[in-house]
């Protein structure tokens, strides 16, 4: 029996990949049960926030996002991020911990190398249009029709350039592992290798899992149903544990 809809459902904050808007997660809202609420986070400079300046400092952006979601953390929640979004979700989790705010039940990191050993130096330099287009072709997920459309490129490339610099600004430093489970997903034909995905283990002291799907870097589009099935399974497990702990607290306090 699955978890039914009630006030103690789980909110899944979703962080977009490089060049994307929060709308990339909109289809998920209709493909998951009501108790699992999808809450895409729009980053400045795109979508409904197009008039805001783009960010190139990951720590600063994570602090901004923490400010924005702080009032929504009065119910169980988790973080999901694909590619750049996974790294940003990790940074956000640390900011929330530093501020003493309620912690996520878990972190979902998709198609992105573990933070502790990753080399972000290739992203620290501002890339030319040609380099950005080559990178889009390498990753897949962008049609040649889009790459040949100059008007679309004029919209996409500035965002992508800033997002690459955003990734290049990441600094792991000496961080204590997070006290929450990290569930990692990857595509079997992605340039991000299994060994890099396994590096996420170093940043959790609680629990870790790795699920691999058919496909390349954007497997989350072609293998969406399988990915959402796994997200739902893990989310349900964590929410059940949270409910069990919450149910024991009054008895412990009375004792």
| Model pLDDT, residue 249 | 62
DSSP per-residue codes, 183-211:
EEEEETTSSS-HHHHHGGGGGBSS-EEEE
Residue with the two structure tokens 């390498």 = 138
Residues 6+ apart with CB under 8 A from 180: 93, 103, 104, 105, 106, 107, 204, 206, 207
| Section 63-87 average pLDDT | 97
- pLDDT tier at 232, thresholds 50, 70, 90: very high
* Model-wide pTM > 0.75: yes
CB 102 within 8 A of CB 34: no
Q: Is 83 a catalytic residue?
A: yes
Q: pLDDT per residue over 166-217, tens digit each?
A: 999 999 999 999 999 999 999 999 999 999 999 999 999 999 999 999 999 9
Q: pLDDT per residue over 22-44, tens digit each?
A: 999 999 999 999 999 999 999 99
* Of the ranges 147-151, 163-167, 228-232, the best mean pLDDT one: 228-232
DSSP per-residue codes, 117-150:
T---GGGSSPPPHHHHHHHHHHH--S-HHHHT-H
Share of the chain above pLDDT 90, in %: 73
| Model pLDDT, residue 44 | 97
Residues 6+ apart with CB under 8 A from 213: 185, 186, 187, 188, 219, 223, 226, 227
Q: Which domains does the chain have, with CATH numbers?
A: 10-120+174-248 (3.40.50.1820)
Catalytic: which of 18, 83, 110, 181?
83
Residue with the two structure tokens 């609680």 = 206
CB 27 within 8 A of CB 224: yes
């Amino acid at each position: 029996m699955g978890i039914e809809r009630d006030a103690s459902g789980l909110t899944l904050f979703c962080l977009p990949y490089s060049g994307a808007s929060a709308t990339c997660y909109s289809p998920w809202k209709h493909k998951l049960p009501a108790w699992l609420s999808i809450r895409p986070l729009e980053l400045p400079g795109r979508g409904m926030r197009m008039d805001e300046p783009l960010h190139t400092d990951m720590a600063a952006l994570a602090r901004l996002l923490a400010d924005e979601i702080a009032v929504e953390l009065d119910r169980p929640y988790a973080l999901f991020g694909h590619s750049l979004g996974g790294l940003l979700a990790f940074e956000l989790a640390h900011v929330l911990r530093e501020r003493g705010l309620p912690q996520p039940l878990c972190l979902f990191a998709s198609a992105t190398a573990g933070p502790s050993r990753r080399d972000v130096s290739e992203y620290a330099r501002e890339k030319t249009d040609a380099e950005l287009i080559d990178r889009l072709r390498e990753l897949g997920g962008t049609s040649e029709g889009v790459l040949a459309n100059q008007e679309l490129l004029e919209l996409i490339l500035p965002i992508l350039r800033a997002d690459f610099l955003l990734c290049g600004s990441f600094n792991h430093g000496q961080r204590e592992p997070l006290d929450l489970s990290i569930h990692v997903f990857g595509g079997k034909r992605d340039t991000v290798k299994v060994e890099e995905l396994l590096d996420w283990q170093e940043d959790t002291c609680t629990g870790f899992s790795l699920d691999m799907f058919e496909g390349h870097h954007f497997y989350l589009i072609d293998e969406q149903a399988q990915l959402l099935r796994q997200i739902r399974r893990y989310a349900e497990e964590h929410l059940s544990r949270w409910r069990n702990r919450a149910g024991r607290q009054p008895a412990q306090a009375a004792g």
